[in-house]
A and B are shown apart, each in its own frame.
Chain A
Amino acid sequence: MAKVPRNFKLLEELEKGEKGIGDGTCSYGLSNGEDIFMSDWNGTIIGPPGTIHENRIYSLKLYCDDNYPNNPPIVHFISRINLPCVNQHSGKVESSRLSCLSQWKSSNSLEDILVDLRREMANAVNKKLPQPPEGSTF
């Protein structure tokens, strides 16, 4: 399978994010539009309905290093959230505990991570977890 160069892939993802192609529950884009290396990204996850996260918006930071998409990005929650896969001190998403990161494939995208996290929130085990007040940050 042909390897897609990092920047092509990220550009494609950027366009997808800005145009809102996808299921509309996650949004993402560059933190700094001038960043030609496209390393730092913002993401938001709209809390899944029927869970404690409903109507909340969670902000995240994603960092794509030079080896993206061979290496998965590093993902941090900015908004405070109580989830087993999120380090409660730093907000970092533990890659070992999120299937999308632990089994990362170069065809995966930033959106896949956000969607996977959202699925994690809606997971029957997690959806009723008590959450810190909205607006608090790590």
Chain B
Amino acid sequence: MEESTSVKSINVKFRPSNGDGFDYSFDPGQLTVRQLKEELVLHTTIPADNMRLVYSGRVLKDEDMVDLYGVKEGHTIHVVKRADNRASEQASNVTPTSTGQRNISSTTASSPFGMNPFGNFDPDLMRNMMNSPMIRHILSNPEIVRTMVMQNPTMRQMIERNPEIGHIINDPSFIRQTMDMARNPELMREMMRNNDRALANLETIPGGFNHLRRMYHTLQEPLESAGRNNDQSSEAANRRLAEMLNVERPPQGRINNTPLPNPWAPRNNTNSSTSSSSNTTNLFGGIPSFGLMGFPPAQMSFPSPSSNSRISNSTQGPNQSSTPNSQTNGISSATSPTNASGNAPNFPNVNLPQNSPTSIDPESIRRLQQVMQRHLTSSQFPSRQQMPQSYYPSLFGLPNPFFANMQQSLGTSQTSSQPSEPPEIRFRVQLQRLEEMGFMDQAANIRALLAAGGDVNVAIEWLLRNLNS
């Protein structure tokens, strides 16, 4: 480190097997491998005991001096984590956790900021867990929390790409505050209310609206787009939003007479049936410090098994009318929704693709059916269904209110349309193909396939784009 004291200090690149590399200067004649590892702890999330260093085809032994291996200026040492610790490393997103105590705790510990975690969890369970002494202890230590955040590849990427976010997790008091809030619903509600009021007041001040808009543009938007890891262009973002809203591409060569989707339509109904749960969803409304880190909900969690089974039970439900058979041209768009709405009173005025049978692909039909089914089931089983991932989705990853509302009212959580199997099983065939093509990083492959909705070609495109960037 100190160039002044050791003249023979060299600069070496370190390359962890997951995550980005870093440079570190040291004097190989003065350090044993063990000492080097201990110094490296500051730069990686791997503890010295679990760290292995590989250079030039050899695993470095703890007791040897580093210069024994002939490491020279500019060379690269690989950093590999030892196997014992894998549970905590990957429990959060790759493995579907089993029921073991250890697993549960590691999931909780490693993913409060993660993509998935509590979609299937009862809020009470969650609260109890947050209050358990062990978790409390873990979360009260900002350093651990920080490490956990950095272990999540998405978060890390986001922070690397936007250094200005980095200070958030580097600020212990912020983390502690966040944790306190997550633990205490009352406090959280209070914060939300204050914030809502502040924003409302701001809006009434002359020029306040402009200020709000500026806030959105400078903070919320970049953060959201940072949360999606392959946001290449606004076009891609638009497409994603359109997908989320179930907007179809307007029919080509014809006047687009399809009504715009109305994401707010069914809110009233669901509200009345499930006041408690919608309340909790609203908790998160409009607090930038939380919405800040908001991932779009679609990215956030796996579907709860319960909702899936219901969906599959009702696959043969009364929604057959949504298949595009009766209408032949694009004029009578309103009729089929009304057919369906006999069974699904809450169904929103989302534009249905029936009116343009020529331009529908089976995929959109399927999704539409799922939307309807979900809506049906959600009106039948309101309390569980209406508790979307937004309640305790992840302490940092709270969805922003707009998405939360939209998701709730549309009843179209994309997550719910996924089968309950974990992605590596669901995409087994595609993964194998990707591996055959030489994409060896399974985690990246899974991410790509998830992003591509299982389409291998799109996934490859995604992978290549991410490799290049």
Contact = CB atoms under 8 A, between A and B. Distances in A.
Contacts of A51: 442
A28 B78 contact: no
A41 B57 contact: yes
Nearest to B71: A18
A57 B59 contact: yes
Nearest to A21: B76
B363 to A, nearest CB: 27
A104 to B, nearest CB: 18
Contacts of B440: 23, 25, 48, 115, 118-119, 122
Contacts, number: 96
B78 A27 contact: yes
A56 B440 CA distance: 16
Contacts of A31: 57
Interface in A26-58: 27-31, 33, 41-44, 46, 48-51, 54-57
Interface residues of B, number: 36
Contacts of B441: 49
Contact of A119 (B56, B58, B435): B435
Interface in B34-78: 52, 54-59, 70, 72, 74-78
A90 to B, nearest CB: 19
A49 B56 CA distance: 21
A9 B324 CA distance: 63
Nearest to B13: A20
Contacts of A109: none
A119 B436 CA distance: 8
Contacts of B54: 27, 44, 46, 57
Given A21-B76, A44-B57, A119-B435, 18 more contacts: A18-B76, A19-B76, A23-B440, A24-B21, A27-B55, A27-B57, A27-B78, A42-B57, A44-B58, A44-B59, A46-B17, A46-B54, A54-B86, A55-B82, A55-B86, A57-B54, A60-B57, A124-B432
15 contacts: A20-B13, A20-B77, A25-B17, A29-B55, A29-B58, A30-B56, A33-B70, A44-B78, A46-B17, A46-B54, A50-B424, A55-B82, A55-B85, A56-B83, A122-B435
